[in-house]
A and B are shown apart, each in its own frame.
Chain A
Amino acid sequence: MSQPDIKNDIGAVSPAEPLLPVEKKLIGWSLGIGITLLIALIAINHFVPIKL
């Protein structure tokens, strides 16, 4: 990849690549699972506090 290619590549917006349903699913499931797990871990953290 030459330097001008990189510049054009970074500068270009990609209307030809809209978000596909599978990408939306990936984002949605990641966030959903992530937030759920975080809430669970926060609960565990509450019941199993750090021991000194």
Chain B
Amino acid sequence: MSDIAIKASEPIALKARLNEDWLAVVIGLLVYAAALVSISGTDLLGWAVMTSVYTDLAKALAPVAKAYAWLGGGGALLATYAALLVLLSAGVAALGAGVRKFAVAFTVVFAIAYASWIAGSYAYVAAVTPAEQQKFGIGWSLKLTNEGGFIVALLSGLVIANVFPRFAAWLKEAIRPELYIKVAIVILGATVAVTAAGRLNLASSLLLRGAAAIVEAYLIYWAVVYYVARKWFGFSREWSVPLASGISICGVAAAIATGGAIRARPAVPVLVSSLVVVFAVVEVLILPFLAQTFLWQEPLVAGAWIGLAIKTDGAAVAGGGITESLVMAKAAAEGIRYQPGWIIATTTTVKIFIDIFIGVWAFILGYIWTNHIDRGPDRAKPIEIWQRFPKFILGFILVFAVSLWLAVGSTPEIAKALPTAAGEANVFRVIFFILTFFSIGVLSDFRKLWQQGFGKLAAVYFVSLFGFVIWVGLLISWLFFSGFKPPLAS
């Protein structure tokens, strides 16, 4: 997934993308550090807005901390918007982009995206259990939980992209799904650590299973998709490598890294990335509901499957979030209440394990191409592994490690205060998720892609995804995760 996905004719700014990686780390760490200050008794983020399921709109919004209740829901929303505007504008300025254009576009993006989130929290959309329906005095609901707001945000973006393309183009300065999801993943490290601290054995087991995801994505998916693209569809090597990487590993990062490694023309991996983004959108709209229907009794299988099947970071982790809410809703309706966090943690672990090796795989392909296929004066250099390493993962690991240490290696007082701090950081993780979903939708101009003759590329993706990737992912997820459930909520 990328904010450059539809800019087909622009060169790939690899250097800028790396800067965006680091920017995500900085923003994520700032939010996390501010949240941690609350452990000392000074609440720096308690004003952040959170949305509850509602029938009366006036009661939908509130500050996350009671100490800031005087601010009211509207005040909390404005404060959150202002803080994000300042933080992200500073970040965008550091990237060398136009701050004024970004600020104006971000204001609109935030307004639509958060309005979508509020709409998704309406009781008729979000209420899950009969008890909740009774509480709100309603006879039916879509049972999407309040995270159904992610889908509303995605659909809002899709409508803008496909019905109002000029408006979508006007918003482009603030349409940065790659940045938003990377910040969210860095912050997510705290939630995952707090969740993991509660069940260290299960957490370490998840890490072990991440190795299977790496093997599956790089050695099995990639080889099969490359063969299908080359042999069945007759694509050249230049197209087949980014295509195989995009479909197998990660839509944007892997397609661009491996495309660069084999010296493909810049537009090729960018176009492939666009295709992957579109398919990821379709997958996010379909797979979580399939998981809810068929895998609700195997929550961790569902989480791992989403991580293996959806091929962009943002869509995969966000899809994991939707899957978690849907599966937990279905289980709750059956009287089973799982602890939250385990399904999305499984999805994230699987996806992050896959991402870690993008640089290594790009180096391997670069070595083979420069030494055996396209011999020239340049040879692949080991430093390229580091250059192409997705840096935001370092932010996730740092936040995860610090949080885990605070949870299990520090004083009981700190361990007790940590979940509240992580909860405040999580409010921002959710907001960055909402921005990601909306941005993905805005980037998915189906008509434009069709005009560019994407039918054949889409055919490769369709055949690979529905003929192979989804089913093998399901099999592997089942083999490694079936029979193991998240802990029950107390």
Chain A interface residues (CB < 8 Å from chain B): 1-3, 6-7, 9-15, 17, 19-20, 22-23, 26-28, 30-31, 33-35, 37-38, 41-42, 44-45, 48-52
Q: Is the CB of A45 within 8 A of B202?
A: no
Which of A9, A28, A44, A48 neighbours the largest number of chain B CB atoms within 10 Å of its CB?
A: A9
Q: Is the CB of A50 within 8 A of B205?
A: yes
Residue among A3, A10, A26, A41 making CB contact with B212, cutoff 8 Å:
A41
In angstroms, Cα B307 to Cα A32, docked, is 23
Asked whether any CB of chain A lies closer than 8 Å to the CB of B456, the reply is yes
Q: Which residues of A contact B222 (CB under 8 A)?
A: 30
Name 11 extra pairs, CB < 8 A, besides A6-B453, A27-B223: A6-B267, A22-B373, A31-B219, A34-B216, A38-B476, A44-B208, A45-B208, A45-B479, A45-B480, A48-B208, A50-B481
Asked whether any CB of chain A lies closer than 8 Å to the CB of B234, the reply is yes
Q: Is the CB of A34 within 8 A of B220?
A: yes
Q: Which residues of A contact B372 (CB under 8 A)?
A: 20, 22
Asked whether any CB of chain A lies closer than 8 Å to the CB of B103, the reply is no
Q: Which residues of A contact B215 (CB under 8 A)?
A: 34, 37-38, 41
Interface residue total, chain B, C-beta cutoff 8 A: 49
Contact with A along B471-490 (1 / 0, CB 8 A): 00000100111001101000
Residue among B201, B237, B456, B479 making CB contact with A11, cutoff 8 Å:
B456
Asked whether any CB of chain A lies closer than 8 Å to the CB of B231, the reply is yes
Q: Which residues of A contact B220 (CB under 8 A)?
A: 30-31, 34-35, 38
Chain B interface residues (CB < 8 Å from chain A): 8-9, 199, 201-202, 204-206, 208-209, 211-212, 215-216, 218-220, 222-224, 226-227, 230-231, 234-237, 239, 265, 267-268, 271, 300, 368, 372-373, 452-454, 456-457, 476, 479-481, 484-485, 487
Q: How far is the CB of B292 from chain A (nearest CB, A)?
A: 22
Q: Is the CB of B235 within 8 A of A22?
A: no
Q: Which residues of B contact A17 (CB under 8 A)?
A: 230, 236-237
Q: Which residues of B contact A13 (CB under 8 A)?
A: 234
Q: Is the CB of B368 within 8 A of A26?
A: yes
Chain A minimum-CB-distance residue to B223: A30
Question: Known contacts being A1-B9, A13-B234, A26-B368, is A6 close to B271, with CB within 8 Å?
Answer: yes
Question: Known contacts being A27-B227, A34-B223, is A52 close to B202, with CB within 8 Å?
Answer: yes
Q: Which residues of A contact B373 (CB under 8 A)?
A: 20, 22-23
Residue among B224, B226, B267, B484 making CB contact with A50, cutoff 8 Å:
B484
Q: Which residues of B contact A41 (CB under 8 A)?
A: 211-212, 215, 480
Chain B minimum-CB-distance residue to A37: B215
Q: How far is the CB of B345 from chain A (nearest CB, A)?
A: 13
Chain A minimum-CB-distance residue to B458: A10
Q: Which residues of B contact A30 (CB under 8 A)?
A: 218-220, 222-223
Residue among B9, B205, B231, B368 making CB contact with A51, cutoff 8 Å:
B205
Chain B minimum-CB-distance residue to A20: B373
Residue among B212, B224, B453 making CB contact with A7, cutoff 8 Å:
B453
Q: Is the CB of A23 within 8 A of B230?
A: yes
Q: Which residues of A contact B216 (CB under 8 A)?
A: 34, 38
In angstroms, Cα B219 to Cα A19, docked, is 18
Q: Is the CB of B8 within 8 A of A6?
A: yes
Q: Which residues of A contact B271 (CB under 8 A)?
A: 6
Which of A35, A42, A51 neighbours the largest number of chain B CB atoms within 10 Å of its CB?
A: A51
Sample (12) of A-B pairs whose CB atoms are under 8 Å apart: A3-B452, A6-B271, A9-B236, A10-B452, A13-B234, A23-B373, A27-B227, A34-B223, A35-B220, A45-B212, A48-B208, A50-B300
